[in-house]
Amino acid sequence: MKTFRIGGVHPSENKLSAGEAIETLALPKQAVFPLSQHIGAPATAIVKKGDVVKVGTKIAEAGGFVSAPIFSSVSGKVNKIDTVIDASGYRKPAIFIDVDGDEWEETIDRSTELVKDCSYTPEEIVAKIKDAGVVGMGGACFPTHVKLCPPPGCKAECVIINAVECEPYLTADHRLMLEKPEQILVGVSLLMKAAKVTKGYIGIENNKPDAISLMQEKAIAYPDIEIVPLKVKYPQGGEKQLIDAVIGRQVPAPPAIPISVGAVVQNVGTAYAVYEAVQKNKPLFERIVTVTGKSVKKPSNFLTRMGTPMSQLIEAAGGMPEDTGKVIGGGPMMGKALANTEVPICKGSSGVLLMNDKEASRVEAQPCIRCAKCVGACPMGLEPFLLATLSSLKEWEKVEKEYIMSCIECGSCQFTCPSHRPMLDYIRLGKGTVGGIIRARNAKK
Amino acid sequence: MANKLIISLSPHVHSGDSVQKNMYGVLIALIPAFIVSLIYSGVGAAIVTLTSVAACVFFEWAITKFILKREKTTICDGSAIITGVLLAFNLPSNLPLWIIIVGALVAIGVGKMTFGGLGCNPFNPALVGRIFLLISFPVQMTSWPKIGQWTSYVDAETAATPLALMKQAIHGDTSALSQLPSSFDLFIGANGGCIGEVSAAALIIGLLYMLWKKIITWHVPVSIIATVFVFSGLMHLVNPECYASPTYHLLSGGLMLGAIFMATDYVTSPMTHKGMLIYGVAIGFLTMVIRLFGAYPEGMSFAIFIMNAFTPLINNYCKPKKFGEAVKK
Amino acid sequence: MNLILIAVISLGVIGLISAVILFVASKKFAVYEDPRIAQVAEVLPQANCGGCGYPGCSGFADACVKAGSLEGKLCPVGGQPVMAKVAAILGLEAGTAEPMVAVVRCNGSCEHRPHITKYDGAVSCAVAHATYGGETGCSYGCLGCGDCARACLFDAIHMNPETGLPEVDEEKCTACGACKKACPRNIIEIRPKGKNNRRMYVSCVNKDKGVIARKACEVSCIGCGKCVKVCPFEAITLENNLAYIDPAKCKSCRKCEPECPQGAIVAKNFPLRKPKVEAADPKSENSKAETSKTEVLSNAVPKIDLSKGTPKVEA
């Protein structure tokens, strides 16, 4: 069975909510839409206080090419445009909408009927995706239309769908595949058409045998789409690792991007969002969110409107356990710890994970014993211990030469470190600083 | 919810591995060798090992507490115990106690704590102690008691070790080779030598345990053993009268102990697989050069010591294969 | 005898040859360096702190010699006396520069700023800053991990474990700016020491709206603008909900200090307000309370035992 070639770790899977069917969550009382929900320029608000909006009304326009518009997920009145603490832990501008009823825009096709045929040209599909505000649903939130427009000199050869869900605990993609397989396959063929390629792969880790067999069965009708079962190993869901695992090509060090080796990687949730955007005219305003944790009473998968506060999801999953020590937006390997539970669900929120105090606290760091376990675990073939030390010493030039920009921040190094060293904290710091230095250098040129 | 939410960057989970687990794993892997040493050397082995461990732990505690004035002592992480055990395993079972204590002081004090403690030492502390003793007290350090003397300690009868016999052969005493014990005896440990090094079988059990628990990788021990085998095999083919067969070289002296436990020390060995192979091959080569052409009958400790010094250089030049380098477009 | 003779002769010859090689090399490969550079470097403090903006003391010496004017060049460590010596060596006018000191513009101690979360990451302000807004509701204030204390080469800034804030030892501070650079939140400012070491500053950098800032911290600047109105010298500006006192314009009249409803304006090293001054000041009881608060603050600094303030630096 295929997998990526360098490094990797095996965190315990803890897919507690894998057997829970997707439930639709009740509407929130107030929905909050941060203007910066994606990588790139923040969106600009086009509504003002007192405006009445419907479900699917555009409330913020894309702020540039690498950006995406934002749509209201509720109907009601704009309460204010203010700041809210989002997943980054800082106050960011956001639109607050008071919910009143559930009135949808007429253009949205609300029937559940599967629409297979598509008469749009590739350019029209890309335009529809762009106008629906679709971004990568795996967590990075990179605007999808940008990935479908290869830079000059690059040519896409295949579309790879990331249905790996290698993060422990999360099951949103797994449930989506079990419940909407046909829609996903149509979405994939739309993506293939948009990228002008004839080959599509869907990579699924073999800890989801039910999803693999179901998708394989449905994919018989789509001869261009191949389901690729993959050996379980973290971080297989990393874009570069997935390309390596599925088609055996390795993306060179930055500034090379996946398209440099001819691959367009999209998340399975994105494929579904593309289907809805193109075939149903439905912009991206809801997504599936896993609420899970060892102490959570009822781990669940919710179909949630964006802007819903996380506290409402936690409530619906049986309430906040007494011993909660950490609330994480996303999975345990790459998710962000949240400072409060009022953080709204955004386009990239794949899960809410509640950890108890015991799991949540870090163990005190000990000196590095140079056991090289981090070197063995790094899926990018880097030397994390060295990057961390150089970053903590602020040796930015040296750390750049050690390929710090190749780091994908998967956390395998810190996960495996017997000395419990906070390596990735420092590597992120170094990566951020070196990234700034490189941008400044390029700007000078 | 009464508690404040804890905030830190990802990853929020950990493999559960720890320094202690690795260190105690190594200690568990050393148990078979210790049992064999008890069988063949009796109380002597026990006295030497316990003294060495106690002295190492005491010196580590005392130095962190009184000289470095650190609040937390590091004796619980097990590294000082390992140093103590490895030092003892490199000593004859009839060594006077005061020499052992001096060795432990040098091992922990000079070999480890002067550089800042665990993780900072360029040389394997047990080796520093062993080499210091070997050079300072050559007579006591190279007179090994005959095996099977259960209760005798300092007054034990001594006998030549297989390595000494091999050295005699190189110097022209062709009858020396015939006095060697059988390779089976060497394998299970029924021969003279330092406490822990006699039984290749027990050490290999330890190696298998460490490989199973993923405490070490195969690269260093296998490359050392393979190099020694090839080198001594070639020499044996050239002149079988003078040079003993590779099996003897592999099973005698500190080779197995060194290859499996001393050279694989995390802190002082290279970090990449490529680097580990270079390091292992160089240790094997140096060992054989010292054994066959040098003044000392045994070269393992010196070879590891020399290569410890080269480890930073190897680390600097042997980088892991980066993602994306592997495939040429 | 013969042996000794051979040894002496051979070693002597080797020595002689080496001496000749060295002599030739030193002449042939000599690099001319202005001797004044070495002279200037001699009088510099050799702290190599980089506070002057040049890479170390020799870099500064090199720059001084080559520049032709000392205007704008100051060794923050040695100050005016050292610059006078440098000027004497080079035969130039010493530039005028005001003595400066590092000022911590955050007063959000544990008491003033309730902690709402617990930071569990690497002990580094830079990392904490990249992680989130901080343990308190204020995402502008001090994170308390002590990057500034670690950056200081002169042992002049220490974390006070009680308040969780850094404190500057004004005697030792050379205003080299290392702590300012280390602070990811730009809380530390290098300000003129002021006459008799007396200076006024706004001890807050919070740019949130008043309501949020007040909720997060008892001594935050809420951007009310009272100080701006009362200042007779137009030294205070209000931008992004935050007041700033321009040290160049401030005449230390202390009018703004009692005006601040949050007590965010700090008057450092001023004598206690005498009752006489109080009488002349037409302020009510309210301002008295504020004044005493400030007094406590400005007097508290020298009392603190600096030796125990250093946080554990991670190995």
Query: According to the model, what pLDDT value does residue C276 have?
Result: 47
Say if residue C300's pLDDT is above 70: no
Task: Check residue B152 and give its pLDDT.
Answer: 66
CA distance to partner chain C, nearest, from residue A90 (Å):
5
C-alpha distances (whole Å) from B76 to each of A369, B31, B83 are 15, 19, 13
Residues in chain C: 315
**What integer is the mean pLDDT of B20-36?**
92
Residue B321 has pLDDT above 60, yes or no: yes
Residue, of B153 and A304, whose pLDDT is higher: A304
Cβ separation A367–B118 shorter than 8 A: yes
- State residue B150's pLDDT score: 66
Considering only CB atoms, C208 lies closest to which of A91, A422, A429, namely A91
Determine the residue among A429, A431, A433, A434 to mutate to test chain C binding: the one whose Cβ has the most chain C Cβ atoms within 10 Å.
A429
Those residues of chain C whose CB sits closer than 8 Å to some CB in chain A are 116-117, 120-122, 124, 126-127, 130-133, 139, 208, 212, 314-315
- Tell me the percentage of chain A whose pLDDT exceeds 90: 68
* Chain B nearest-CA residue for A333: B11
Instruction: Report, as an integer, the average pLDDT of B16-31.
Output: 92
In this predicted model, what pLDDT tens digit does every residue of A354-412 receive, in sequence order?
998 888 888 888 889 999 999 999 999 999 999 999 999 989 999 999 999 999 999 99
Tell if the CB–CB gap between B7 and C121 is shorter than 8 Å.
Answer: yes
What pLDDT does residue B218 have?
93
Into which CATH architecture does domain A122-279 fall?
Answer: 3-Layer(aba) Sandwich (3.40)
pLDDT at C304 over 80: no
Instruction: Work out the pLDDT band at A61, boundaries 50, 70, 90.
Output: very high
Q: The tokens of A306 are what?
A: 């964006």
Query: What is the per-residue pLDDT for C279?
Result: 41
- C120–B8 CB contact, under 8 Å: yes
Query: What mean pLDDT do residues C131-143 have?
Result: 89
Of residues B15, B269, B320, nearest to A375 (C-beta): B320
According to DSSP, the β-strands at C236-239 and C199-202 are: unpaired
Predicted pLDDT of residue B41? 82
**Pairwise CB contact (< 8 Å): A256 & B19:** no
Candidates C117, C307, C308, partner chain B, best to mutate (most B CBs within 10 A): C117
**CATH hierarchy code of domain C194-300:** 3.30.70.20
Could you read off the pLDDT of B62-75 as tens digits, one per residue? Answer: 999 888 888 887 78
Are the beta carbons of A426 and C122 separated by less than 8 Å? Answer: yes
pLDDT tops 60 at residue B296 = yes
- Which residues in chain B are contacts of C117 at CB distance < 8 A? 4-7
Mark yes or no for CB contact C124/A432 under 8 Å: no
Q: How large a percentage of chain A has pLDDT more than 70?
A: 100
The two most distant CA atoms of chain B are separated, in Å, by 83
What does the alpha-carbon distance between residue C217 and residue C107 come to, in Å, rounded to a whole number?
Answer: 9
Instruction: Output the six-digit token pair for B114.
Output: 């002067």
Asked if pLDDT for residue A143 goes beyond 70, the answer is: yes
Please, are residues A367 and B35 in contact by the beta-carbon 8 Å criterion?
A: no
Instruction: List, for residues A197-238, the tens digit of each pLDDT value.
Output: 999 999 999 999 999 999 999 999 999 999 999 999 999 999
Q: Pick from A381, A385, A428: which is nearest to B9 by CB? A: A428
pLDDT in tens, C275-291: 544 444 444 444 444 44
CB count, 10 Å around CB of A253? 15
Cβ within 8 Å, pair C124-A426: yes
Q: Is B328 on the interface with A (CB under 8 A)?
A: no
C212–A422 C-beta distance less than 8 A = no
**B119 contact residues in A (CB cutoff 8 A):** 366-370, 419
* pLDDT score, position B221: 95
Note which residues in 143-182 of chain A have CB less than 8 A from chain C.
none
- Contact criterion met (CB < 8 Å) for B9 and C116: no
| Most confidently predicted of A185-199, B191-205, C94-108 | A185-199
Q: C-chain residues within 8 Å CB-CB of B8?
A: 119-121, 131
Average pLDDT, chain C: 82
User: Under an 8 A CB cutoff, do A91 and C212 touch?
Assistant: yes
Cβ–Cβ of C118/B9 closer than 8 Å? Answer: no
Do C236 and C157 meet the contact criterion of CB atoms below 8 Å apart? no
Give the best-scoring range by mean pLDDT among A304-313, A354-363, B41-50, B67-76: A304-313
Looking at chain C, the domain(s) classified CATH 3.30.70.20 span 99-193, 194-300
Count CB neighbours of C231 within 10 A: 22
* Cβ distance of B6 and C118 shorter than 8 Å: yes
Q: Please tell me which residue of chain B has the smallest CA distance to C315.
A: B116
pLDDT, one tens digit per residue, over C215-224 is 889 999 999 9
The predicted-structure confidence for B183-204, as pLDDT tens digits, reads as follows: 788 888 777 788 888 888 999 9
Query: Please, what's the largest Cα pairwise distance for chain A?
Result: 63
**pLDDT tens digits along B105-161:** 999 999 999 998 888 899 999 999 999 999 999 888 888 887 766 666 666 677 777
Please tell me which of the candidates B2, B8, B117 has its beta carbon nearest to residue A337.
B8
Handedness of CA A108, A114, A119, A121 (dihedral sign): positive
Residues C261 and C243: their CA atoms lie apart, in Å, by 13
Please say if the pLDDT value at position C292 is more than 70: no
- Is B266 near chain A, with CB under 8 Å? yes
The domain segmentation of chain A, as residue ranges, is: 122-279, 373-444
pLDDT > 90 in chain B, percent: 50
- Range from A70-84, A423-437, B150-164 carrying the lowest mean pLDDT: B150-164
Where do the DSSP E strands lie in A138-197? 158-162
Please report the pLDDT score of residue C291 as a whole number: 44
Write the pLDDT tens digit of every residue in B261-278. 999 999 999 999 999 999
Tell me the torsion sign for CA atoms A55, A59, A65, A68: negative
Instruction: For the domain covering C99-193, report its CATH number.
Output: 3.30.70.20
Q: In chain C, which residues have their Cβ closer than 8 Å to the Cβ of A392?
A: 122, 124
For every residue of chain C, DSSP letters joined together read -HHHHHHHHHHHHHHHHHHHHHHHHHHHT-----HHHHHHHHHS------TTSSSHHHHHHHHHHHHS--TT---TTTHHHHHHHHHHHHT-PPPP---EEEEE-----TTTS-B-EEE-S-S-HHHHHHH-S-SBS-SSS---S-HHHHH-SSS-EEEETTTTEEEE-TTT-----HHHHH-TT--EEEEE--GGG-EEEE-----S-HHHHHHH-TT------HHHHH-TT--EEEETTEEEE-TTT-----SHHHH-TT--EEEESPPPPPHHHHHHS---HHHHHHHHHHHHHHHHHHHS-GGG-PPPPP-
